[in-house]
Amino acid sequence: MPSPTTRRRFRSHRWLLPLTAALALTFTPMTSPSANAAVGGSFVDNFDAFDTGRWHKADGWSNGGMFNVGWRADHVWFNGGVMGQNLDTASCPSGCSGKPYASGEYRSNDLYSYGRFEARLQAVKRSGTVTGFFTYTGASDGQPWDEIDVEILGKNTTQMQTNYFTNGVGGHETVINLGFDASTGYHDYAIEWWNQGTINWFVDGKLVHQENGSRGALPTHPMRIMANLWPGTGVDGWLGPFSYPGTPLTARYDWV
């Protein structure tokens, strides 16, 4: 893992490259968000601290279904310019539906429209897990389920899976060979979502995949920016089986 000094040196250099610094570089939305969330503008967050004006931590509930985990706010931490998410066997309140594991999920307060969304992160290597960076909206925002994903599956951290959902319809998975192990260091993962009708995925500044709607309509609704770490249940064919190693697993995010 790079030292804090190395990470901050990278931060000063990345401004020299157009569009590579900001996770959220946004443009005018095509539709209005729910009443409880504004459409946010461009920003960079170096994760020096928990910015409550921009983010919140999921706490005391579960996504259900294939997520074998409940979210705890204290499982998202900040130290030395890094945001970490721990996965362990801590108990979780009743809203977690008796899930056997606890982990962290970080969610933007605002919704964001077309633009570039980027994160520098180090994924977890463990069968059955997903380190995720994605955009999402759904019924809780008074909108259809739209989503755009970067997912590192812990069973093979030399690959990245892309996907998107439009009005709840997914099935657009693509597996990308990274050429490195995403669990051994920090790398940059970016989504460019444009109203011209494309979604582009980049790794370390290199275009690795594009969707143009030929496999199904692309998302159109403003979405929240999200990051999480979770183990699956009932999806061993996709993620592989999960067994807890006895010590916490940690995904790390350097900046967005």
Alpha-carbon distance of 159 to 138, in angstroms, equals 27
Alpha-carbon distance of 74 to 102, in angstroms, equals 10
Nearest CA-CA partner of 96 in 105, 83, 84: 105
Nearest CA-CA partner of 101 in 125, 75, 82: 75
The one catalytic residue in 147, 173, 192, 211 is: 147
- Catalytic residue check, 151: yes
Q: 3-class SS at 54?
A: coil
- Catalytic residue check, 147: yes
Structure-token pair, residue 189? 């993962």
The one catalytic residue in 118, 151, 192, 211 is: 151
109, 129, 211 from 235: Cα distances, Å:
30, 10, 25
Which residues are marked as active site? 147, 151
